[in-house]
Structures are given as structure tokens and as C-alpha cells.
Amino acid sequence: MKLAKLISAAAFAFALLANPAFAETCCEKAKAAGKECAHPCCVKAVKDGKVCEKCNPKK
């Protein structure tokens, strides 16, 4: 059953890559909606003129 495990793992990885919602951060989603991210950590970062690194890890 090793092969089945490998296939499901590959399918899972592909699903993550193919899902645009997963790649979008909370801040990007808020921006797309014309708002600012309401997460306290992001609001604090924006006040400091930065972007929240916790929610927006560098790619």
C-alpha cells in the first residue's frame, strides 16, 4: 500500500498548489475586498508601516 500513500500525498500537495485561496494571505484577501485586514497582528504591523510577517511570510 506504499504506492497508494504516495499518490494521496502527491494529490494533496497538488491540491494545495492548485488552490489559489490557500496562497492568498488574510491581508491580500482584505485588500482584494477593498478593506484593510482586521487581524490585530496585521493592524499593528500596518500602523508601523510594515506588513505582518506572521500572516505574510516571505515567498
Shortest distance, position 53 Cβ to Zn ion, whole Å: 8
- Measured distance CA(47)–CA(55) in Å, rounded: 15
> For residue 8, what is its C-alpha cell?
494521496
* Residue pair 42/27 in contact by the 8 Å Cβ criterion: yes
Q: Does residue 51 interact with Zn ion by CB under 5 A? A: no
Chain positions 21 to 50 lying near Zn ion, rule: CB under 5 A, are 26-27, 37, 39, 41-42
Question: Which residue, 17 or 36, has its beta carbon nearer to Zn ion?
Answer: 36
> For residue 59, what is its C-alpha cell?
515567498
Binding site for Zn ion (CB under 5 A): 26-27, 37, 39, 41-42, 52, 54-55
